[in-house]
Structure 1
């Protein structure tokens, strides 16, 4: 079970030749008013008196967008806009696109990563995929025959509407069962006695454990198929055994993914980050709360480790876009928890997570096997935050596990000696080295093509002339061949 990622997209070159098969859903088999919660959405708009509302659909639900908009328009006087193409992953609320139409609220349809958004009010409508609650309970009982087994139940958001049915049945039989809740807003918290329980918030889910218990004492059960949410949860709770129930086929199984193997693959990415000298910090989710602080945190830890960070905003990522930044040794993708993990072998340079960059640059943070996919957990004030070590502010030398060569980690003092050389002084020793600088600016200077030349003041001014009309295959004023 890998789960894939939507953080990397294709470059669109196959669009012209692609043949599409349109499978229009039979509206009789799915009532749009129920599936999209039309009445509740209209009430939400009227209650808050929203004047302009953006409706965000993922690609697989766009065919219903016009009908949904018409239904909502009949129940509210708000001006509605359909966001037809998301700026980044469709699981994130597209704050950027909503700002283009001056929307005062967003209704997000379909699967969502539940990342916190502070700029605009959001209502989530996940949809209601088919789920046989009775069969799910029966399969759960087969997986966990002992009624005292400690289990935390998670679920894909598209099945949230049916979880109460499952909860009613299983809680009457199991004595140590905990159901997680979806964290739909930043301020949402369980109404419990926090002196007796510990609130856990991970992957857009929240649940409460007795203060005397730890996460590793529980097994995890997930209702849903293979998806990014499951991958994220399995890496986050990597010390717990996972089982799943897939409503699409009614299959239940114990997950056999070697989480340790995947974690070691991520540790390899940490080593690549340690070897890097020029770092591209990619803003992969500008609408997510605290993303600016996270980017600054990544830049800070990179600079303290003697690396040169550059911030990039490139929209939906693909190999062709990232190849334009050949001077980067590694990219750090600051995105939502479900899109931050990228396993793409065709990329020109590796992409690491903010957590992996911290492991590479912050000497105070050690590799313990715990994994963090939410960048907010790395920021000051979070329980997972680790301040930069004083030792990391000075340069130190270790050996790369990839190249076998020595490398310097930590801030160095740079004295420019000329156009292509820099003196690097290691404050921990009396050795002074003179080496070629590999900064992005000097790399760009060495390129054979460096973009359009401005040639300011060298181009004669001429009057504008009427150009050709039509399409490239045959302009209107083009002589026949």
Structure 2
């Protein structure tokens, strides 16, 4: 039989040898001898079972790094577990000594790697918050443990289902400890016929909200007020208030996982904006500005400090810099030379407590508004102090501020 012209030829096997891909061992994988150690399990049993302290992972990391001097940092609500964790790590890792850092820890911005380094520690475990300061920027190796908490997320979803109309759009958010519950609630609500969204303000985790950073623009103008809401899972209001400030039109419900209660929450957004607008207006008359760089952990960002000083000096304002770990009205009253203040520490200090200070005390965002570097929009107050962006130069991750003025 004659060969058909232009008939496609049968593919031939490759003539060259294909290199076999070998996977490098995963150093982060916890070895069975740690996971299955009955003595470690017995030691962990003295900690509350609902709290995930990631003890196995921490022991593995400490052994890998051959750390000998360990620092533990945690918010006050977890301090009671510090001695137990200290004993566990000394017993099952290479650690010889443990320091529990007792200074107040408001959030991940307070991670105190500099304090740990000053005490001669070669490893820091920070509990209860997410990784805001990159691990490449800390002065000692650092492990962030979220301490995820198991809750009755079915009850949270059921409470909301009985409260809002079926088919409502729900934005589910919360603090990082309840990250697992956020996604469980979304799944439960979707099964009940709701449209659910877990919003994200990068680089934070989906659904995660900080006191100074929250997803914005969640209100859908095409829907009615009764057809959309946020469900916030947290045991307090501080983080929820950030989400309400960023989305003032959106109805808010908070589920308290300890009391197992769902409450409708409110925030006096217009009153807050009025107070902050007055502070900004009063500060425009100031000739001398005191500029505060927060020294509580990594609250203060030197890169933002330099920009603030440049903005003020370019406009003929006199400035002086003060380093403070905590900011109180009485402390600032000791420096009457300042006509106004700018604090690079926590924006919520200005929002929540600014009206208690004798002189106007602005956040970096408010200073940018004062000097006209960003416009003021009706119904908008930026809550993006740790959100990545190209134009929010007052933010820790805005522009090139992520370098934190340290040359990274």
TM-score strictly above 0.5: yes
Asked whether 1:145 is paired with 2:165, we answer: yes
- After TM superposition, the structure 1 = structure 2 runs for residues 7-46 of structure 1, keeping only pairs within 5 Å, are 31=48, 35-46=52-63
Deviation, 1:253, is 2.7
Distance 1:241 1:182, change over 3 A: same
Q: What is the CA-CA distance between 1:50 and the residue it aligns to? A: 4.5
Alpha-carbon separation, structure 2, partners of 1:273 and 1:336: 18
Separation in structure 2 between the aligned mates of residue 357 and residue 206 of structure 1, nearest angstrom: 20
Flag the 1:340–1:156 CA change in 2: closer, same or farther, 3 A: farther
CA deviations over 1:280-320 (Å, ceiling 9, x no partner):
11112565488111111211222233322221102222233
Distance 1:216 1:179 in 2: 13
Is 2:331 the counterpart of 1:311?
no
Shift of 1:177: 0.8
Which of residues 221, 224, 238 in structure 1 aligns to 2:231?
Answer: 221
Summarize the alignment of residues 138-177 of structure 1 with structure 2, pairs less than 5 Å apart: 138-147=158-167, 149-174=168-193, 176-177=195-196
Which residue number in structure 1 is paired with residue 392 of structure 2? 384
- CA positional deviation for 1:161: 4.4
Aligned partner of residue 116 in structure 1, secondary structure? coil
| Corresponding residue for residue 69 of structure 1 | 86
Which SS does the other structure have where 2:353 is aligned? Answer: coil
Matched, 1:279 2:289: yes
Residues 242 and 254, structure 1, Cα contact 8 Å, conserved in 2: yes
Are 1:331 and 2:350 an aligned pair?
no
Please say if 1:119 is aligned against 2:138. yes
C-alpha spacing 1:323/1:63, structure 2 compared with 1 (3 Å): same
Equivalence map 1:24-423=2 (5 Å): 31=48, 35-86=52-103, 89=106, 91=108, 92-110=110-128, 112=129, 115-117=132-134, 118-120=137-139, 121-127=141-147, 131-147=151-167, 149-174=168-193, 176-180=195-199, 215-217=218-220, 219-285=229-295, 287-288=297-298, 291-336=301-346, 341-343=351-353, 345-362=355-372, 365-375=375-385, 382-385=390-393
Distance 2:190 2:295 in 1: 38
Determine if contact 1:154/1:179 at 8 Å carries over to the other structure: yes
Q: Displacement of 1:353 after TM fit?
A: 0.9
Task: Give how far 1:230 is off.
Answer: 1.4
CA 34–215 in structure 1, closer or farther in 2 if over 3 Å, else same: closer
8 Å contact from structure 2 (residues 214, 384) kept in 1: no
SS in 1 for 2:273: helix
- Counterparts of 2:250 and 2:328, CA distance in 1: 34
Provide the rounded CA distance (Å) in 1 between the counterparts of 2:195 and 2:96: 48
State the alpha-carbon separation in 1 of the partners of residues 208 and 83 from structure 2.
39
User: In 2, distance between residues paired with 1:375 and 1:341?
Assistant: 13
Question: What is the number of residues matched between the two proteins?
Answer: 340
Per the TM alignment, residue 182 of structure 1 is displaced from its structure 2 partner at its CA by: 9.0
Q: Which 10-residue stretch deviates more, 286-295 or 230-239?
A: 286-295
Q: CA RMSD in A?
A: 3.6
3-state SS in 1 of match to 2:283: helix
- Residues 374 and 167 (structure 1), Cα distance of their counterparts in 2 relative to 1, 3 Å cut: closer
Post-superposition offset of 1:33: 9.8
Q: How far 1:70 sits from its partner (Å)?
A: 0.5
Report the equivalent of 1:397: none
* Separation (CA, whole Å) in 2 of partners of 1:333 and 1:113: 23
Structure number having the greater helix percentage? 2
The secondary structure found in structure 2 opposite 1:365 is: coil
Structure 1 distance, partners of 2:46, 2:102, is 27
Q: Is the 8 A contact 2:171 2:229 kept in 1?
A: yes
CA distance in 2, matches of 1:200, 1:31: 23
SS in 2 for 1:341: helix
Normalised by the length of structure 2, the TM-score is 0.71
Work out the CA distance in 1 between the residues paired with 2:373 and 2:214: 31
Q: Deviations over 1:223-282 (max 9, x none)?
A: 113332112222122343322212232222332222122122221221122122211111
Structure 2 CA distance for partners of 1:79 and 1:101, relative to 1, 3 Å? farther
Provide TM-score, normalisation by structure 1. 0.61
Distance 1:219 1:299 in 2: 41
Q: Structure 1 residues 100, 200: closer, same or farther in 2, change over 3 A?
A: closer
User: Is the CA contact (8 Å cut-off) linking 1:58 and 1:109 kept in structure 2?
Assistant: yes
Change (3 A) 1:263 1:295: same
Q: Which runs of 5+ in 1 are unaligned?
A: 1-26, 191-198, 387-481
d(CA) in 1 for partners of 2:180, 2:209: 21
Tell whether the 8 Å contact from 1:113 to 1:338 is kept in structure 2 after alignment: no
